[in-house]
Amino acid sequence: MKIAVAKETRHNEKRVSIVPDVVKRLITLGTEVMIETGAGEFAGFSDEAYCANGATIAYDKTHLYQNANIITWIKRPEKEIEELLHIPSDTIIITFFDPFKPGEHLKHFAQKTVTTIAWELLPHNKETEQMDALSAMGKFAGEIAYKNALMNLQIHTKPLTIIIIGSGNSGMAAAKKSHQDGNKIIVVSTNAKYHFFIEEQLSGVFELLTNNLVRQQERIKELISEHKPDIIITTARRYGQKSPKLITKAAIDAMKFGTVIEDLTASVGGNTPFTQADKKIKVKNDVLICHKSNYPSQQPSKASESYAQCLWHLLEHVITHTHTESNYDISTDPILSKTVVTHQGKLCFTSS
């Protein structure tokens, strides 16, 4: 079995999907691992490091993908149609596939008769916990968003007051990091799962929102008026939908001078009416609304190692079953079947 590891081509993507240590483990499973030259360069992993752990270096796409059984990316390539020309049919591709995004990319992969596995569709349960790259990258995003907000803050008082909107992996990572620095945190969410953890372990305030958008907006404005936060980190999103505008213009008008909003949801519309991807927007009272795409890529080495660990657990599962079951079909795998986007020329997933 051959695993091909491609160099990422998306703008500002510095991560690599497999790191040298994972190469060594994959080879013990009887696989050949081929790395596109320079794939790990921006994450601090040289071609020589990969070779030292048993990988082979490919200097062009044809060589990389020839006879590949599994291909690993962080994200779909910038020029995916050109990339598909080099990829054999029936290959398994594992990546953040963005299956909810409108467009023709789903059809292109189906027509190539490759099997595509999307991290976004992996169920969240005990069986998949170690494979969960989406959660792992979310944690990096939350921590980095918090650090970015600190750097953008004009006035530093101690302790800071920080409102975090959303209690998913990004929000919780931001909350934990904020607590470690001795700050006062208020977490706002429609999910009560972490209520006691936030209040008892992080000494924070937890506010459970209703599912009514207008009431959510009103309550968030009330909390902003009451607590006068220095930083607001917004993470509220649902895959396949636009992010809700939870922070209204009226809420922004109620903020104190120099408040920093770090909005992680810009790629799906933003949690404020002013959010723009990869920009810092200054509004009334010098409130700064910030976004920087691909937060995990700001720590490419650590993020690559974390991603590769998740990928290792998924690949170990697939390779082991392939070796032990003559008719193994990933599309019927009880753990991974829901992650399959295209298979045998068919589109297996629709966002509707």
pLDDT of 231-276, one tens digit each?
999 999 887 788 999 999 999 999 999 999 999 999 889 999 999 9
Q: Cα separation of 184 and 195, whole Å?
A: 15
Amino acid in the structure at residue 324: T
The region, left, alpha or beta by phi > 0 then psi within -120 to 50, assigned to residue 30 is: left
Alpha helices in the chain (DSSP H): 20-28, 47-52, 61-65, 80-84, 105-111, 133-152, 169-180, 195-196, 213-227, 249-253, 300-324
pLDDT of 215 over the 70 cut: yes
| Residues 14-43: tens digit of each pLDDT | 999 999 999 999 999 999 999 999 999 999
CB 14 within 8 A of CB 41: no
CB proximity list for 63: less than 8 A, separation 6 or greater: 34
What's the pLDDT score for residue 251?
97
Q: How confident is the model at residue 101 (pLDDT cuts 50, 70, 90)?
A: confident
% of the chain with per-residue pLDDT over 70: 99
Confidence of residue 283 (pLDDT cuts 50, 70, 90): very high
pLDDT per position as a tens digit, 57-94: 999 999 999 999 999 999 999 999 999 999 999 999 99
- The amino acid present at 210, given as its one-letter code, is T
Average of per-residue pLDDT across 202-219: 96
pLDDT in tens, 114-127: 999 999 999 999 99
Give the DSSP letter of residue 197.
Answer: I
Position 352 pLDDT exceeds 60: no
The total number of residues shown for the chain amounts to 352
pLDDT of amino acid 157: 81
| pLDDT tens, position by position, 300-351 | 999 999 999 999 999 999 999 999 998 999 999 999 999 999 999 999 987 6
Beta bridge partners of 342: 116, 347
Q: How far is it, in rounded angstroms, from Cα 330 to Cα 318?
A: 7
Collect all residues with Cβ–Cβ distance below 8 Å to 86 and sequence separation of at least 6.
61, 62, 64, 65
Q: Which domains does the chain have, with CATH numbers?
A: 2-122+300-347 (3.40.50.720), 138-298 (3.40.50.720)
Which helix (H) or strand (E) element contains residue 261? strand 260-263
Q: Are 304 and 315 in contact (CB under 8 A)?
A: no
